[in-house]
Amino acid sequence: MFFSRKNFCLFIIVLVHVIGVFGRMGECEVIEVISFKNSDQKSESNSDDVKYEEENKIIEANVTATNSSSNVTKVNCLTDKVYGPVEIVNATRLMKLLILEPGPSNKSRNDKEGRLLPGTCVIVLFYARWSIFSSQAAPHFNALPRSFPHIKAVALDAIKYQNFNAQYGIVGVPTLMLVHNGKPVAKFNYTVYTLETFAKFITQITNLQPNGSLYVTSLDFSGPVSSTPSNGTDYCLVLSWIFITACALYFTSQSRWWQQFVELIQNTWRESNAQHEHVD
């Protein structure tokens, strides 16, 4: 009985300790679960805040993209002079047209103030006579002065006068550039070169609107900018091919298989001569 009571007491003590340990473990688990839930709630709240901020940014970006044209300060083009058809210019003539108009305000003005000042607007087409894309855009550019008579329209052969390419960042033809008071303002960035896209480009940048309806006539295909690619000889291309051919011949003559081929021809020639001498 003594041992049984003693064992029973030990069993009760062990059971109490086990219950206490499990109780502490349960409290720890509950605390961990609660803290885990709190962290989840914080992370969820943080993620909600991040999502809300991202949505706000997206909305702001969409609003900015939608209202980008309205936020741009448009160029103030003079309308007191009416210009004629497109003028094909050289480097000297283009430099005269792009000279900054004199005045103390032009020296210290910023971009926005420069756009607000009234000034002469010039639209420049950089083209190449052999370019198919330049020929396709030519009739639409020839019709542009009829819709915008207050803008001086000029065209420059970018291949013949290449010093302007690096100065204005011309990397391909055709390239359309708008100049205001001798300062480049914008470049045409559309993929389709038509009179409608030209007019859209000008109305987005300047304070001008097209004069009447937009149309291209048969006379616009005849000039001033030619709508037919030229078949002239490109001497730079000829010199390039001559240089490539000369380099190919030189490296071929220095190769091992070419020397073996030459030795084979020489040996064959010697054998044929020896046979002829033997027959004689």
pLDDT of residue 231: 80
* Burial (CB count <10 Å: 0-12, 13-18, 19+), residue 87: middle
Structure confidence at residue 9 (pLDDT): 54
Per-residue confidence of the chain (280 residues) as pLDDT tens digits?
444 445 555 555 555 555 554 444 443 333 333 333 333 444 444 444 444 444 443 333 333 333 444 567 788 899 889 999 999 999 999 998 887 655 444 444 556 666 778 889 999 999 999 899 999 999 999 999 999 999 999 999 998 888 888 888 888 899 999 999 888 999 998 889 999 999 999 999 998 999 989 999 999 999 899 999 888 777 778 899 999 999 999 888 888 888 888 888 888 888 887 777 666 5
Residues contacting residue 99 through CB under 8 Å, at least 6 positions apart? 182
Residue 178's DSSP bridge partners are 123, 186
> What is the reported pLDDT for 157?
93
Pinpoint the alpha helices (H) of 67-172: 68-71, 91-97, 105-108, 111-116, 132-142, 144-147, 163-168
Q: What is the pLDDT, as a whole number, of residue 274?
A: 76
Q: Residue 141's closest CA among 209, 197, 210?
A: 197
Helical H segments across the chain, by residue range: 2-66, 68-71, 91-97, 105-108, 111-116, 132-142, 144-147, 163-168, 195-205, 235-253, 256-279
Q: What is the pLDDT of residue 99?
A: 79
Cα(88)–Cα(175) distance, rounded to whole angstroms?
Answer: 15
> What domains appear along the chain, each with residue ranges and CATH number?
87-222 (3.40.30.10)
Residue pair 86/145 in contact (Cβ under 8 Å)? The answer is yes
> pLDDT at position 60, please?
36
pLDDT for residue 12: 59
What phi, psi does 198 have (nearest 5°)? -60, -45
| pTM tops 0.85, yes or no | no
pLDDT at res. 116 = 78
Please report, as a single letter, which amino acid is at residue 99.
I
